């Protein structure tokens, strides 16, 4: 970071974090998005009321939503690279007075900050509906709600640990599509699928709320963060050496 952390990297992260979508005509405006959001919340409220009054629901299963967040973050991160080409800002972006590593690191930092906010919003939303269900259900107590909130923090923590790898893979995939290594994209998905299948068969990838903090888990997280750093280095190298403009 030749010009300095404060003068280049921090403004870059701020720009990426607050950056809005391009000015192209969108198929759905803000009013319609708000309408769909309110409709979704209303349906969720009605279903929560129905199942809370009619059945003894298991609140902890709702937290399984968190297992889908890394996939969503992976997709959102790809768009951070793709929009530089779609918005025709790639020339400006690549000619900024800093290294490719700094450019990629800024996108990584902004994506990680945004992913934390998304996970926090999901946690609060689920917590509100869980509290509502516990309030109207005769089979749920305040103790049940406390246990529910505590287990949600564990799921939140697991997602925070997994976000760096999802973001790094997203940046790599988005960049790969713009380089001379584009034919390697099918290989990317093959390796990804094999890794997922092997991890699932060995029990590494399994929705298990009873999992506890251990040396093995800490080591796994540290290894995933190391792989994330290596992927960022590879992504910066692709931008520097293999870009296909």
For the chain, what is the HEC assignment?
CCCCHHHHHHHHHHHHHHCCCCCCCCCCCHHHHHHHHHHHHHHHHHHHHHHHHHCCCCHHHHHHHHHHHHHHHHHHHHHHHHHHHHCCCHHHHHCCCCCHHHHHHHHHHHHHHHHHHHHHHHHHHHHHHHHHHHHHCCCCCHHHHHHHHHHHHHHHHHHHHHHHHHHHHHHHHHHHCCECCHHHHHHHHHHHHHHHHHHHHCCCCCCCCCCCCCHHHHHHHHHHHHHHHHHHHHHHHHHHHCECC
On the question of pLDDT at 162 being above 50, the answer is: yes
Interval 138-155: pLDDT, tens? 777 778 888 888 888 988
Question: What are the structural domain ranges in the chain?
Answer: 5-25+59-241
Reported pTM: 0.83
pLDDT of residue 133: 80
Rounded to the nearest integer, the mean pLDDT of the chain is 82
Interval 95-105: pLDDT, tens? 888 889 999 99
Interval 128-140: pLDDT, tens? 888 888 887 777 7
On the question of pLDDT at 47 being above 80, the answer is: no
Interval 15-42: pLDDT, tens? 888 876 554 555 566 787 788 878 888 8
């Amino acid at each position: 970071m030749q010009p300095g952390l404060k003068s280049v990297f921090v403004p870059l992260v701020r720009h990426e974090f607050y950056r809005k979508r391009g000015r192209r005509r969108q198929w759905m405006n803000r009013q319609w998005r708000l309408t769909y959001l309110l409709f979704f919340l209303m349906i969720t409220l009605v279903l929560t009321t129905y199942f809370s009054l009619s059945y003894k629901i298991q609140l902890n299963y709702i937290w399984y939503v968190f297992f889908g967040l890394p996939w969503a973050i992976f997709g959102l991160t790809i768009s951070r690279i793709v929009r530089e080409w779609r918005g025709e800002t790639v020339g400006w972006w690549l000619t900024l007075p800093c290294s490719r590593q700094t450019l990629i690191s800024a996108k990584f930092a902004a994506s990680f900050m945004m992913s934390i906010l998304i996970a926090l919003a999901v946690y609060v939303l689920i917590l509100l509906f869980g509290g509502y269900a516990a309030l109207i259900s005769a089979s749920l107590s305040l103790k049940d709600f406390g246990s529910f909130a505590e287990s949600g923090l564990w799921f939140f923590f697991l997602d925070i640990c997994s976000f760096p790898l999802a973001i790094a893979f997203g940046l790599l995939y988005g960049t790969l599509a713009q380089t001379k290594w584009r034919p390697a994209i099918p290989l990317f998905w093959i390796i990804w699928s094999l890794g997922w299948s092997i991890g699932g068969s060995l029990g590494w990838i399994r929705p298990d709320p009873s999992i506890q903090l251990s040396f093995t888990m800490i080591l796994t997280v540290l290894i995933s963060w190391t792989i994330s750093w290596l992927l960022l280095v590879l992504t910066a190298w692709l931008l520097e050496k293999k870009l296909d403009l």
